[in-house]
């Protein structure tokens, strides 16, 4: 009666309010189950089942057939409910596994989110440092450029000394050495100033590039954190909705099944009671019928045993072995009369009445003759005893 939280935006689908969730099996299961609709349908099934098994319907006492029909309907309903509950339990098991998977991934995302927040905090610190460094480097670059420009302007405005003019204007050798040393230091200072200006410009450019990268990382981490938070909130709401719907669905079907079983037990008890009443009534009727039959039952003909000249339809030796020539009542096997014929054979060969001994001897002779002609001596066990085959 139904997986994972988005770890990055690369495999997410649209989620309400701008968030995204992972396109995993749990989401497919959620869309396929339509759990709120399933719960409503099962609630309707419960209502119908309870209405179908209302024990108060009708005032007339039902017959056994009607009770058995109702019992069959209840048993069929129970089979459907049991099958549906089994399917729902399988869905619940599947959902439990999906929930466990989601919870595990949710923890992983939460850990990753904590790490991202720590990284974001570090990035903010680096941003502050880089911005301060950029300001310092830009100031140094501006100062170096100003100094270099002033020196260049001063060099163009003053007369540039030459080696000859220095030698001619020197007051002695020591003065000459001092002027030459000064010129060397000035040239080196100018070169150093040019180098410092170029270095400051390069460092400022690098700092600006790092600042741009850090700003981009800051934006990316912030955006990913917002997306993950929305995804987690949506997934938690989805799981809660599924759990509630499944619980309601299974509770509805379980209640319907329990009610149906109680109604089945009541029907079985009622059927047993009705059958007991019918059996008692049948026993009383049978007893009364037996008493009436005893009063009206015809007395079988009696008389002395007949001898060999009794006009037998089969050899007298067989008759003598079977009945002794007397019209005997039924024995334990049901055979009766002069020829000891059982009721089924009596009926098969055209005898009237329920048993042979109740018929006159002439009819017994006619039936015995037909048996002899049809089945032969083998129809009587005594034929083989007296040696007639």
Instruction: Judge whether 165 lies within some domain.
Output: yes
Output the six-digit token pair for 9.
């935006």
pLDDT of residue 183: 77
Residue 157 pLDDT grade (very low, low, confident, very high; cuts 50, 70, 90):
low
The model's pTM is 0.37
Average pLDDT over the chain, rounded to whole?
77
Identify the band that residue 243 occupies on the pLDDT scale cut at 50, 70 and 90: confident
46/82 same-domain check:
yes
Any domain includes 298:
no
pLDDT score for 95 = 85
Looking at the structure of the chain, the number of domains it has is 3
Grade residue 158 by pLDDT with cuts at 50, 70 and 90.
Answer: low
Higher pLDDT: 149 or 306? It is 306
Q: Kindly state the tokens that stand for 137.
A: 């480097």
CA dihedral sign of residues 57, 62, 65, 67: positive
Rounded Cα distance between 274 and 267, Å, is 10
4 assigned to some structural domain: no
Token digits of residue 141 = 């670059």
Determine the longest span between alpha carbons in the chain, in angstroms: 198
350 close to 359: Cβ distance less than 8 angstroms: no
Instruction: With respect to residue 293, please indicate whether it lies within any of the assigned structural domains.
Output: no
Between CA 42 and CA 245 the distance in angstroms is 10
Nearest to 235 by CA among 11, 89, 19: 19
Whether residues 138 and 227 share a domain: the answer is: yes
CB atoms within 10 A of CB 137: 20
pLDDT mean over 79-88: 91
CB 383 within 8 A of CB 323: no
| pLDDT for the residue numbered 282 | 58
Mean pLDDT for 43-52 is: 49
Residue 365: the pLDDT is: 97
pLDDT at 235: 80
15: pLDDT strictly greater than 50: no
Q: What distance in Å separates the CA atoms of residue 383 and residue 320, rounded to the nearest whole number?
A: 11
Which residues are CB-contacts of 356 (< 8 A; sequence separation ≥ 6)?
A: 335, 336, 337, 338, 339, 340, 341, 343, 346, 364, 367
Q: What is the pLDDT of residue 118?
A: 86
Q: What is the 3 state secondary structure string of 166-193?
A: HHHHCCCHHHHHHHHHHHHHHHHHHHHH
Domain span holding position 265: 9-52+64-152+206-286
Same domain, 233 and 90: yes
pLDDT over threshold 60, residue 9: no
Per-residue confidence at 13, pLDDT binned at 50, 70, 90?
very low
Q: Are residues 193 and 210 in the same domain?
A: no
Number of neighbours of residue 33 by Cβ within 10 angstroms: 20
Tell me: do 323 and 380 sit in the same domain. Answer: yes
Tell me, yes or no, whether 105 lies in a domain.
yes
pLDDT tens digits along 334-346: 999 999 999 999 9
Say yes or no to pLDDT of 189 above 50: yes
pLDDT at 31 over 50: no
The residue among 283 and 332 whose pLDDT is bigger is 332
Sign of the C-alpha dihedral computed for residues 91, 92, 93 and 95 taken in this order? positive
Nearest to 300 by CA among 358, 361, 377: 358
Average pLDDT over residues 29-54: 48
Residue after which a domain boundary falls, among 204, 235, 266: 204
256 with 179, same domain? Answer: no
186 and 76, same structural domain?
no
CA 59 to chain centre: 42
Size of the chain in residues: 389
Does 112 share its domain with 196? no
- 210 vs 327, more confident: 327
Question: Domain boundary residue among 185, 204, 223?
Answer: 204
pLDDT over 80 (residue 162): no
Domain membership flag for residue 307: no
Q: Are residues 139 and 169 in the same domain?
A: no
Domain stop point among 242, 269, 286: 286
Q: What is the CATH number of the domain that holds 361?
A: 1.10.530.10
CA contacts within 13 A on the Cβ side of 114: 5
The set of residues, in sequence order, having a beta carbon less than 8 Å from that of 329 and lying 6+ positions away, is: 300, 336, 357
Instruction: Tell whether the model's pLDDT for residue 46 goes beyond 60.
Output: no
Region of residue 329 (phi > 0: left; psi between -120 and 50: alpha; otherwise: beta) = beta
pLDDT(144) > 50: yes
Residue 206: Cβ within 10 Å count = 14
Residue 127 lies in a domain: yes
Instruction: Place 364 in a pLDDT band, splitting at 50, 70 and 90.
Output: very high
Residue 135 lies in a domain: yes
């Amino acid at each position: 009666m139904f997986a994972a939280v988005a770890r990055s935006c690369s495999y997410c689908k649209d989620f309400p309010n701008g968030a995204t969730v992972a396109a995993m099996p749990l989401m497919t299961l959620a869309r396929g189950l339509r759990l709120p609709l399933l719960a409503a349908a099962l609630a309707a099934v419960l209502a119908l089942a309870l209405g179908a098994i209302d024990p108060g319907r009708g005032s007339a006492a039902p017959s056994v057939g009607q009770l058995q029909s109702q019992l069959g309907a209840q048993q069929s309903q129970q089979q459907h409910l049991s099958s549906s509950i089994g399917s729902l339990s399988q869905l619940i098991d599947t959902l439990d596994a999906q929930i466990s998977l989601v919870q595990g991934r949710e923890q992983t995302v939460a850990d990753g989110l904590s790490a991202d927040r720590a990284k974001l905090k570090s990035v903010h610190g680096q941003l502050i440092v880089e911005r301060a460094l950029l300001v310092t480097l830009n100031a140094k670059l501006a100062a170096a450029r100003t100094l270099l420009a002033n020196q260049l302007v001063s060099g163009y405005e003053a007369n540039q000394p030459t080696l000859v003019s220095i030698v001619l204007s020197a007051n002695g050798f020591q003065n000459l050495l001092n002027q030459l040393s000064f010129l060397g230091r000035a040239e080196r200072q100018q070169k150093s100033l040019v180098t410092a200006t170029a270095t400051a410009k390069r460092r400022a450019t690098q700092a600006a590039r790092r600042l741009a990268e850090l700003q981009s990382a800051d934006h990316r981490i912030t955006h990913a954190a917002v997306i993950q938070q929305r995804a987690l909130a949506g997934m938690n709401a989805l799981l809660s909705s599924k759990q509630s719907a499944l619980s309601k669905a299974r509770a509805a079907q379980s209640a319907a099944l329990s009610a149906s079983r109680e109604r089945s037990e009541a029907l079985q008890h009622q059927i047993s009671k009705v059958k007991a009443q019918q059996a008692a009534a049948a026993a009383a009727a049978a007893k009364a019928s037996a008493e009436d039959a005893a009063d009206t039952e015809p007395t079988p003909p009696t008389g002395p045993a007949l001898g060999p000249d009794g006009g037998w339809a089969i050899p007298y030796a067989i008759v003598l072995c079977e009945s002794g020539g007397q019209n005997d009542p039924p024995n334990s096997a049901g055979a009766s009369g002069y020829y000891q014929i059982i009721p089924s054979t009596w009926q098969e060969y055209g005898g009237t009445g329920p048993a042979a001994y109740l018929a006159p001897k002439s009819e017994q002779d006619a039936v015995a003759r037909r048996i002899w002609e049809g089945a032969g001596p083998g129809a009587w066990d005594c034929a083989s005893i007296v040696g007639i085959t």
